[in-house]
Amino acid sequence: MSTSKRSPVALVTGGSRGLGKSMALHLADRGVDVIITYRGAAAEAADVVKQIEAKGRTAAAIALDLGSTRGFDAFAAAVKAELAGRFGRDRFDYLVNNAGMGGQASFAETTEEQFDALMNVHFKGTFFLTQKLLPLIADGGRILNVSSGLTRFSFPGYAAYAAMKGGVEVLTRYLAKELGPRKIAVNTLAPGAIETDFGGGVVRDNAELNKMIAGQTALGRVGLPDDVGGAVAVLLSPEGQWINGQRIEASGGMNL
């Protein structure tokens, strides 16, 4: 199948809520068709699909447990089937590795089980899912890996989480180099503190913490999902095609 003169297709992991949902909707606003993944929130994912379709775009939702590589073959087969059946093509253009999980514990109290859970989702999952999907990504496409502002500044309780995201940032540069011959650009987007339900919604719901973070941010407030969703849409726009191998932080200027 030819992919020329068609709307681009993005695959956004963790697209049923929070930042991933905002990313998917912002991409749809810019004429991109979207596949989202979800782990357990099937109803929420179906609602996001409806919202994307209401914007005149094609959309699909596929279940994915990013923490278990055993399911990646079946997931890739499901993506291939959706591309052929719903989108009328055999490749997609943009992979956004967004899905993640929260985890807070001091370095001294972090258990091996907590460490492994974070590693399996944020680093191992991102590494091997991207590898599995490479044959389905169009030449000239893009990969955007979501990291965290916590790789630049330190906040007690996030040593393991931030370390995994640091690994993702190094991986981004290697992918940009190795996928260059296919003209696939690879970048990192690192959000700062955002008001979502991530990590139990602590940034959104704890007024004292929210005020403290706002005071450390040059623009004077905590980020909102649309701040990050809009940044993703900009980075994946045609105008962003020459940005490659970079870490872009979307934090409003935290801890400058």
The percentage of the chain sitting over the pLDDT mark of 90, rounded to a whole number, equals: 86
The Cα 204–Cα 210 span in angstroms is 7
CA dihedral 116, 118, 15, 252 (to 10 degrees): -170
The mean per-residue pLDDT over the stretch 43-51 comes to: 98
pLDDT tens-digit series, residues 88-145: 999 999 999 999 998 889 999 999 999 999 999 999 999 999 999 999 999 999 999 9
Please count the residues of the chain: 256
pLDDT-wise least confident of 11-15, 86-90, 162-166, 195-199:
195-199
Q: What are phi and psi of 236, to 5 degrees?
A: -95, 5
161 is catalytic: yes
The percentage of the chain sitting over the pLDDT mark of 70, rounded to a whole number, equals: 94
Instruction: List the catalytic residue out of 38, 94, 158, 161.
Output: 161
- Cβ of 30: how many Cβ atoms within 10 Å? 18
149, amino acid identity: G
The model's confidence at residue 59, banded by pLDDT at 50, 70 and 90, is: very high
pLDDT tens-digit series, residues 175-224: 999 999 999 999 999 999 888 666 555 666 567 778 888 898 999 998 89
The Cα 110–Cα 141 span in angstroms is 38
Superfamily covering domain 9-249:
NAD(P)-binding Rossmann-like Domain (3.40.50.720)
pLDDT-wise least confident of 23-27, 70-74, 113-117, 215-219:
215-219
pLDDT at 4: 45
- Cβ of 200: how many Cβ atoms within 10 Å? 11
